[in-house]
Structure 1
Amino acid sequence: MAYLKPPWFTRRIFNRIAMTFGVGGSTTLTVIRRGTGTPQQIPVVVPEVDGVRYLVSTRGESDWVRNVRAHPTVTVGGATYVASEVPIADRAPVIAAYRPLAGKVVESYWRALPEDANHPVFALTPVD
């Protein structure tokens, strides 16, 4: 699967600023790393469609995507969820809701990767 690796500045500087200040409406996703069992944190924008919140990978098959597949219990903005991957055929409405929230910054990612196949989407079910 395709993956667009973020540049050093994004990984080391911008993501930390985005998580601290909620840049662009972002919140923090915390997932357990599949190899080490340690937490991985990244900023995400979480669209809601028909009352369900979603995670969308703008960069394709990223580490956080593989980590969520291995450990689907995640924390988003302090709340705990179980993430389940949305089939490719059902992703379009979620991606359509996500794109205006994410803004122009991610437009180049949409041009670089085919929309349906390479942008994994996960539905979030709250854990009681």
Structure 2
Amino acid sequence: MTHGNSRPSGFEQFANRLVGSLVKLGTGPRSMRSLSVRGRSSGKWYSTPVNVLDLDGTRYLLAPRGTTQWVRNLRAAGSGELRRGRFVETFKAVELPDEVKPVIIQAYLKRWHGQVKKFFPGMDASTPLDKLLARAGDYPVFELS
């Protein structure tokens, strides 16, 4: 099940390019990185800005727009790079099952609800975990190592 329009509007594409450029220069929000993943068909590198959630010493990527191209590419590749300025980190990613997502989604909403609320209709950090579990399949989550 999808949860709405997962494709960014023209303005959102512009904003993503702008923020992505700032992050590549090493500025912008501290939690933000430029995610680079190889395309599953082309093998070319694609980049997009993402918020990396650090929760109890483990880092996660959550896709608020649902199953986007970067999600499909990361599923296929199993690894990627996170960049901020000159710092480049290679990582491996494991997609998590729905049962473990509610606590991660709740922490994500607590941190970035203002940025992503339109992708989480009727949800915020106070939403009960059982309701988050019911929607967990809409939001891919990856554990990074």
In structure 2, the residue matched to 1:65 is: 71
Q: Match for residue 84 of structure 1?
A: 94
Counterpart pick for 1:26 among 32, 48, 61: 32
Cα 1:100/1:20, change in 2 over 3 Å: farther
**Equivalent position SS for 1:116:** helix
Identical-pair percentage: 30
Equivalent-residue separation in structure 2 for 1:36 and 1:121 (angstroms): 24
Show structure 2 runs of 5+ residues with no match.
Answer: 124-133
Gap regions ≥5 residues in structure 1:
none
Q: Partner of 1:74 in structure 2?
A: 80
Count the aligned residue pairs: 124
| TM-score (normalizing by structure 2) | 0.78
Q: Quickly say closer, same or farther: Cα 1:101–1:75, change in 2 above 3 A.
A: same
Rg: which structure is higher? 2
> Is the 8 Å Cα contact of residues 52 and 123 (structure 1) preserved in structure 2?
yes
Structure 1 match to 2:127: none
One of 95, 107, 118 as aligned partner of 1:108: 118
Pairwise CA RMSD: 1.9
**Secondary structure of the equivalent of 1:55?**
strand
Residue 129 of structure 2 corresponds to which residue in structure 1? none
Runs of 4+ in 1 over 2 A off after TM superposition: 20-25, 100-103, 112-115
The Cα of 1:69 is off from its aligned counterpart by 0.5
